[in-house]
Structure 1
Amino acid sequence: MEFPGVYIEDVGLLAPGTLRLTDKSISFKGDKGGKSVTIQSADIQRLKWQKLGNKPGLRVGTTDGGLHRFGGFKDADMEKIQEFTESSYSKRIDPSPLFIKGWSYGQAEVKGKSIEFSWEEKPLFEIPCTNVSNVTANKNEAVLEFHQNDDSQISLMEMRFHMPTDPDNEDDVDQVEEFKKAVLAYAGLEAETEQPICLLTDILCTTPRGRYDIKVYPTSIALHGKTYDYKIPIKSINRLFLVPHKDGRSVFFVLSLNPPIRQGQTRYSYLIFDFPKDEEQEMELALTDEQLDAANGSLDRKMDGPIYKTVSALFKNICNLKVTEPGRFIGSSGTPAIQCSHRQNPGLLYPLEKGFLFIHKPAMYIRFEDISSCHLARSDGGTVTRTVDFEVDLKSGAPIIFNAMEKEENNKLFDYLNKKNIKVRNPNKVETRAESSDDEIDPYKAAVKAEGRSKDDSDDESTDEDYDLDQDLKRKAKEKDSSEGSASEPDDEYDSGSEQDSSGTGESEPDSEEDVPKKKKEKVEKKEGKGKKGKKDKDPNAPKRASSAYFHWFTANRLSLKEEGDSVADVAKKAGQKWKTMTAEEKKEWEAKAEKDKARYESEMKEYKKSGGGASSKSSKPSSSSSSKKSSGPSSSKAISKEYISDSDDSDEEPKKKEKKSAPKEEEEEESDDSEAGSDGSDESEDSD
């Protein structure tokens, strides 16, 4: 049977949860990590139907004197629970109505582990002895102080019982003192005069900060510092943690407290002790034989070895709790700890088997069952960031953010969340970020280069619309290979006033740009608006270089990434971020294209070099100069352009042209061959450039 919406009394707070009844036990699990209780069927002594919080409730008494009260039922639920308990536990539920008449007098008795106040054997109220924090006995009055629950809006702070002297009491028994002893027996309180189990001196405590002497009693621990003293009941300790520091030199022993201890207005829900890892100490424990037998060999009267192991074993047996240690998670530093910050306070985050432990300002433990999702994102710090923000979204709606986490922890933490089946809001994004490293290419820089390269290509295309120098040189090379000579070459654009001979030889025209003086060439290029400062001409026969996988992807997706108003840098930045968010599977297509393009480039480069590309320019230059030296007459003027000659006063180019026209055909062919040799050298040099 299961009853959701039921609540349990927890130090003055009605904590909601779900009650489940089975053949073997009665279990209660609190909502949002609240109190949880499990009562075995063999330990159930009595059951009562009694109101709690003005609603019907179930009161369960155990064989050890314990008392558990559950409320929030409906009146019709009693019959269902009655049938189940009689068949499963052989226990009948007895109705026990509370006597509420406003009386302030009655009889106070300690029954089991609770204080019952009744009138004429009718109960008025009852209080568990474990809720009592202190008892003071005066002449005829007992003063009870109670533990506080921070989640409770209204708390019971103090209660006073006046016990008048009974004149018929012949034994002269102090009722107040007897009442105090009975409450202390079940409240888990000892006097300071009693002998502690052990004494730990000068222990470093990071929360609350300071050095304390610690006295460990069977039911409480006392901390004595230079300024403050604390007394903590063992029953208020609900979790124990033992985790190593990231530096490997110390170990944290953490006690989770509910209710927390107070220092003024500050509450401490965790006690954090810092023990040196290599410090060893011999310790003698004041334990009885029964207590040693109950420890099942984990404790001895004399304990030696590392002090943190001795203290953790002692608290494990006294508190009857499991000590939680790091699981299989190992961070990039080789330890279970992740360096990060919370609200600008640096600390260490420990991913454990069932939750996250953060030490230490403020110390917190986040259970997996309270987490709705997680989110990993780059920290805001410019284009190059080396830290990550880890955001934990709780089911209660309040997110917890850990900042300044090293980027290398991404992959480790992402795999850990997947193994624990914790929802991650951006799995692809996180995974790619986790795989990234400092050695990879900077996508922002690469994108800017790609944008600049595309601009250069577009500029070249716009220039070629007026005059394509590469194409012209290529055409000349083809004419040379076909042995057709340079007779069909047209005048260059900058050769103003050039006249083509009627014979069509055109020997007076320059064969390449190298034949034009540099100063004149720069002047003409500026005039035409075609030249760029420091820009070299490309070899049209040279194969196109291979592009990387990123450039292939960027070229295909640049227009889809660009939005209205985006600059080149904006598009490049978006592309870089998008490339990092892609998984290895998504990049596979573009990497295959890059490999194919690389193979193409290598193959074409081999063919290009075999045909004399690249290296031919060095050998062609001497031949050009030698041919110009050998040639005489008209051939020696080939290095000077027509425009340059027209500016000089002593040019005799025209008579030389007329002499050429009347020359025999064989001489024309020889001269043509010499001129081709000179022009070929310039063409090959130009191709090489």
Structure 2
Amino acid sequence: MSTAQFDSIFLGLSGVAGKLRIAQSGLGWKSSDEKESVTTVPSSDIKWIQWIRVARNYQLRIGTPKTRITFDGFLKDDFERLQNLCKQYYNTTIESKEVSVRGWNWGIAEVQSQDMAFLVAGKPTFTIPLSQVLNTSITKAEVALEFSSALPPPPADSTEDAIARKKRLRTLPDEVSELRLYIPGSARGMKKKGDKAKIKAEGGDVKDDEEESDEEEDDTGDEGETAAQVFHDAVKEKADIGQVVGESFCTIPDVLCLTPRGRFDIDMHADFLRLRGKTYDYRIAYSQVQKLFLLPKPDDIHCQFVVNIDPPIRQGQTRYPYLVMQFVKDEIMELDLNLDEETLKEKYENNLKLRYDDPAYEVVSVLFRVLAAKKVTTPGNFQSHDGQSAVKCNLKANEGQLYFLEKQLLFISKQPTLVPHSDISAVVFARVGGALPSARTFDLSIRMRGDTDHPIIFSALNKEELQSIDEFLRMKKVRVKNEMDELAAVEAAALGDDDDDDDDDAMDVDAPAPKGVLAEEDDEDSEVDEDFQASSSDGGSDSDDSGSDDDAMSDASADKPAKKKQKTSD
């Protein structure tokens, strides 16, 4: 039996082209890259075939009992040839599906077996494989779909600085990371037929056209349930977010997360984990985990486990690149793993145990360390003035704890901040606003390499922590500048000048008055005495004239009040 071959054909979302061969026994696709295996579709599994215009020319979409397979890259002239081959070999007619090109952003969102299709005037505008949906969330009447990234993960080398990271990101292509659908209205009259569920994006009652006559029997929506909630649940189910394929080997219940805020149940699987909360469910692959931190809180009661993930999870417009879990140090966790001894030995090299009866933070950190294959970073040799591993401070309006680790600084708050030592240009101790040397707090300004105009400023650090922080950073060979010492020296010099001026003033008060001042006082006295003498001689009697001048001056001095001594001023 002859075999037809088509070149430069892509399988699904693959970026590598290959060859597609069609024979009576079925279809077979082989990539031009020898590393990829051959994909075959037996003729007995072919249920339907569709022909659709896509970005990579034309697509041949084949439906099977369990899945849907697509082949892209066909030319328009290949349709007739494929039509004849499918009729001859599989007794199936290719259905040509028209695509809407109106450009409208409102229509009907239809959840099919493995796709989410957006229809405009009854024609699909685009379809999205639900297998690519990483998470879905709902806010009132808005449903957000987050997609997994096809880009390569960041390198595991922790020495990558900020400049190298920017260069690496510039070379990566753009991709769709999130899609939002606004679906107002209630779910009354909504229809489901098999694996299909239709919801009008512009709101209102929605009905499956093929089942309008069975409205009372097939009505699945309650009057109080919104259309957005029904659509969210359908996507969650079909995308395997709510019901994950494969059994988890352990579940950690009721874990308190500070970021994002809430309590979650953590389901640990072989390749990923799930965070199940009341509102949000997240599916996080272990390949997204970049760093792990196990850090005690300064209160000596709690311990924090921090997971750095990239790409981050989202809640609306907010990104969460860090998961911050909090455990009580005295809390004991009893946990049994759903694994056999052979799997523990072969796959995990006996790094896990079948049963745990240890502190909760230790159990969780061990599971993440083994499954994500990442080292858990613990506090180094830094100690604050009260013997803690962190100091309290503020970053903008957020209060938190700043940990001085061996290779980075980690600030834990609502939005944690990680600063590697390799990215630091200089650390400056300063007081913003010209505070006095007697102030009890200081600011820690971190200038980053390549961005010295926008430093990271940690404020309100206790002054008692200055010496320990200074010694630690100098030991790590981080450039340190203490502007407070310079300010204190300038202020001390200014205070010294003021003291000298005060001493001079005191000496001027006690010292004799200058000669010129005393002369002026003598002149005043002499003028008064002369006037007094003149009046006495004019109006006096003969007997008065017989008196001596000394008696007249003494009488004048007795009648005139004593004059106060004037102070001199500079």
After TM superposition, the score normalised by the length of structure 2 is: 0.50
Q: What are the equivalent positions in structure 2 for 1:229-240 lying under 5 Å apart? A: 229-240=281-292
User: Which residue matches 2:373?
Assistant: 320
Q: CA deviation at 1:528?
A: 5.2
Structure with higher helix content: 1
1:198 is aligned to 2:261 = no
Aligned CA distance change for structure 1 residues 317 and 309 (closer, same or farther; 3 Å): same
Partner of 2:467: 411
Residue 361 (structure 1) aligned with residue 361 (structure 2): no
1:344 aligns with 2:397: yes
Task: Map Cα deviations across residues 492-546 of structure 1 (whole Å, 9 max, x no partner).
Answer: x99xx9xxxxxxxxxxxxxxxxxxxxxx9xx86823547x9xxxxxxxxxxxxxx
Distance 1:296 1:433 in 2: 59
> Is the 1:414–1:430 contact (alpha carbons within 8 Å) kept by the matching residues of 2?
no
State the alpha-carbon separation in 2 of the partners of residues 431 and 197 from structure 1.
58
1:156–1:298 Cα change, 3 Å: closer
Secondary structure of the 2:383 match is: coil
CA contact (8 A) 2:329 2:361 kept: yes
**CA shift at 1:402, angstroms?**
1.0
Residues 79-125 of structure 1, C-alpha deviations (whole Å, 9 max, x = no match): xxxxxxxxxxxxxxxxxxxxx995333699xxxxxx996769xxxxx
The CA RMSD over aligned residues, in Å, is 4.7
Rounded to whole Å, the distance in 2 between the matches of 1:387 and 1:218 is 48
Higher strand share: 2
Deviates further, 372-381 or 351-360: 372-381
CA shift at 1:229, angstroms?
2.2
SS at match of 1:308: helix
SS at match of 2:564: helix
Residue 431 of structure 2: which of 378, 384, 387 is its match?
378
Work out the CA distance in 1 between the residues paired with 2:328 and 2:148: 34
Contact 2:56/2:72, CA 8 A, preserved across alignment: no
SS in 1 for 2:400: strand
Query: Corresponding residue for 2:502?
Result: 452
2:457 aligned to 380, 392, 401, which one? 401
- Tell me, yes or no, if the aligned pair for 2:403 and 2:411 is still in contact at 8 Å: yes
Using the TM superposition, give the Cα deviation of residue 320 of structure 1 relative to its aligned residue in structure 2, in angstroms: 0.2
Aligned to 1:104: 58
Does residue 1:527 correspond to 2:565, yes or no? yes
Question: Cα gap change, 1:216/1:524 in structure 2, threshold over 3 Å: closer, same or farther?
Answer: farther
C-alpha distance 410-459 of structure 1, shift in aligned 2 (>3 A): same
Query: Is the contact between residue 238 and residue 256 of structure 1 (CA under 8 Å) also seen in structure 2?
Result: yes
Q: Deviations over 1:3-34 (max 9, x none)?
A: xxxxxxxxx9xxxxxxxxxxxxxxxxxxxxxx
Give the unaligned 5+ runs of structure 1.
1-11, 13-58, 66-99, 109-114, 121-133, 159-186, 469-492, 498-519, 533-689
- 132, 136, 146: which one aligns with 1:145: 132
Residue aligned with 2:332, SS? coil
User: 3-state DSSP class of the match of 2:287?
Assistant: helix
Give the match's secondary structure for 2:353. Answer: coil
Residue 374 of structure 1 aligns with an amino acid whose one-letter code is V
Instruction: Give the conservation status (yes or no) of the 8 Å contact 2:428–2:446.
Output: yes
Q: Distance in 2 between matches of 1:61 and 1:331?
A: 56
What's the CA shift string for 1:286-326, capped at 9, x where partnerless?
23435422544442111112110111011000000000111
Quote the offset at 1:148 in angstroms. 5.3
In structure 2, which of residues 443, 447, 455 is the aligned counterpart of residue 389 of structure 1?
A: 443
**Displacement of 1:245:** 0.4
Counterpart AA for 2:319: R
1:123-162 equivalence runs, <5 A: 137=114, 143-145=130-132, 147=147, 154-155=175-176
Please tell me whether the aligned partners of residues 60 and 70 of structure 2 are also in contact (alpha carbons under 8 angstroms): no
The amino acid that maps onto 1:137 is Q
User: CA separation in 2, counterparts of 1:62 and 1:329?
Assistant: 52
Q: Given that residues 220 and 232 in structure 1 are in contact (C-alpha distance below 8 angstroms), is that contact kept between their aligned partners in structure 2?
A: yes
8 Å contact kept, 1:135–1:143? no
Distance apart, 1:235 and its partner CA:
1.4
The one-letter amino acid paired with 2:114 is: A
Which residue pairs with 2:476 in the alignment?
Answer: 420
Asked whether the 8 Å contact 2:426–2:448 carries over to 1, the reply is yes
Offset of residue 372 of structure 1: 2.0
The answer to whether the 8 Å contact 2:312/2:322 transfers is yes
> 1:345 Cα deviation (Å)?
1.1
Which residue of structure 2 aligns with residue 334 of structure 1? 387
Contact 1:332 1:412 in 2 (8 A): yes
Cα 1:62/1:253, change in 2 over 3 Å? farther
Conserved 8 A contact 1:236-1:257: yes
CA distance, structure 2, for counterparts of residue 224 and residue 415 of structure 1? 44
> Cα gap change, 1:198/1:356 in structure 2, threshold over 3 Å: closer, same or farther?
same
Paired residues of 1:148 and 1:155 also in contact (CA < 8 A): no
Write the letter of the residue equivalent to 2:176. S
Q: Which residue of 2 aligns with 1:572?
A: none
Change in Cα spacing, 1:527 to 1:396, as seen in structure 2 (3 Å) is closer
Native 8 Å contact 1:189 1:233 kept in 2: no
8 A contact 2:258–2:414 mirrored in 1: no
Larger Rg: 1
User: Pairwise mapping of residues 494-533 of structure 1 onto structure 2 (< 5 A)?
Assistant: 526-527=564-565, 529=567
Q: 1:62 to 1:327 in 2, by over 3 A?
A: farther
Quick one: structure 1 residues 227 and 442, their matched pair in 2 at CA, closer, same or farther if it must change by over 3 Å? farther
Q: Which residue of 1 aligns with 2:262?
A: 210
Question: What residue number does 1:256 align with?
Answer: 308
Superposition TM-score, scaled by structure 1 size: 0.42
Cα separation, 2, equivalents of 1:136 and 1:241: 41
What's the % identity of the aligned pairs? 30
